[in-house]
Amino acid sequence: MVLQTVEQRAATCTSDSALVRVGYSGGAGVKSILWSNGATTKRTYADQGETLTVTVTDAAGCSMSSSITASTLDNTAVPLNWTLTKGGPTIFNGSFTAPSLPAGATLIGYRMAYRLRGTQTWTNTPLSQNTTISVDFTGSGLPGGNYEFVAFTRYRLNGVATNSIFTCRIAKGYNGVGNKSEGSGQGWAEDSKVLVYPNPTEALLHVQAPLSSELVLMDIQGKSIVRHTSRAVETPLDLSYFAQGVYMLHVQTPSGSFFSQRVVKR
């Protein structure tokens, strides 16, 4: 057999996990897969910097192993506990906890950045020394849609001004005229209930939610163990490699609606 392990989707923000995959060719008959985290599927999640080993065994009992280490983002000076709320139809309030800076660094300020989802250009707010930043779309002429918001730190180290990487993105809806955004723009009414099934589950958990919803699975200690942005109306999450017990799934839709569901892994 020939094995190949790849990072299929890297982490994109500080609390994100990476999706890794094993591929194989050759060998006899049906293959069995076992990752060091207990997963038995081709794909599994890994924490940033975590090294996983996968062993593939063919029908003749021959086994091969390979390891992969998930990439790690530079989390230096990234704002902590990033949240976003709407203070009205056109007002977006971001807040966070001040991060630690590298030794010898001085703070220049914080910024919130936003963009219409699916576009490339971010608009930055002015520098602020505060850990709460607001932006008002009144009179902006911005088109309606789902907007992504992030925060970042600007600091000076050894005479050089540097930006931290962005926080995880939070999406909120805006309809372009100041009224409440009524939908996600994906053919899904925001008052439609998010569906999570089967629950309890022994392996796959299916989450039905609007496209581009943020899915976060947390363990009983409140640690984020899976973070995923939905790319289809139904998203499967493989829980087969997690221990039996109770977890909490949080779903935030593109327009800002929030849903939580207790999940039982058998």
Tell me the pLDDT tens digit for each residue of 12-48.
Answer: 777 778 889 999 999 999 999 999 988 888 888 888 9
Asked whether this chain's domains 2-69 and 80-174 adopt the same fold, the reply is yes
Domain locations in the chain?
Answer: 2-69, 80-174, 195-265
Q: Read off the pLDDT band of 263 (50, 70, 90).
A: very high
pLDDT above 50 for 186: no
195-265 adopts what CATH topology? Immunoglobulin-like (2.60.40)
pTM: 0.58
Q: In what order do the strands lie in the sheet with 91-97?
A: 80-86, 91-97, 132-136
Closest listed residue to residue 259, CA positions, set 195, 101, 251: 251
* Alpha-carbon gap, residue 240 to 38, rounded angstroms: 8
Q: Read off the pLDDT band of 51 (50, 70, 90).
A: very high
Tell me the pLDDT tens digit for each residue of 115-137.
Answer: 998 788 999 999 999 999 999 99
Q: Do 166 and 113 meet the contact criterion of CB atoms below 8 Å apart?
A: yes
Residue 185 confidence (pLDDT): 33
What is the CATH number that goes with domain 2-69? 2.60.40
Tell me the pLDDT tens digit for each residue of 189-239.
Answer: 444 567 788 888 888 888 888 877 889 998 888 888 888 888 766 788 888
Superfamily of 80-174 according to CATH:
Immunoglobulins (2.60.40.10)
